[in-house]
Amino acid sequence: MTRKKDHKPMGAAALGLVAARFKLLGEPARLALLNALMLKELNVNELVETTGLSQANVSKHLGQLADAGYVQRRKEGLYTVYSIADDSVFQLCDLMCGAIAKKLGQDLKAIA
């Protein structure tokens, strides 16, 4: 594995912040919401319909994602519309999805 030469070690406080951010992504319901929002802006009702989660669950998880800066919200008439606020969500998903696809491909070759 290639080492990153310009990597600077992080302090404990910074590592705690990074861990908290990753922990937020460790919940499948929040990943489902982000996955839906990667396609287009949606309101809570649309997210309930798209994900199959309850309205209360969607609202709770959207609040957590908004507090962390992953999503943003704006009022549009009677509805609150949500969208991805941090483009790193797209990059992180591409990175992880690519790594998972590569790993699955290796696993399939191993058992074939």
Which residue segments constitute the domains of the chain, with CATH numbers given? 24-86 (1.10.10.10)
Mean pLDDT over residues 37-55, rounded?
Answer: 97
Query: Residue 6 — φ and ψ, nearest 5°?
Result: -95, 15
pLDDT given at position 29: 96
Examine the pLDDT at 52 and tell me if it is beyond 90. Answer: yes
With a pLDDT cut of 90, the percent of the chain lying above it is 61
Mean pLDDT over residues 81-100, rounded?
Answer: 89
Mean pLDDT over residues 22-26, rounded?
Answer: 90
Alpha helices in 11-87 (DSSP H): 12-24, 28-37, 44-51, 55-67
Examine the pLDDT at 42 and tell me if it is beyond 60. Answer: yes
- Mean pLDDT for the chain overall: 90
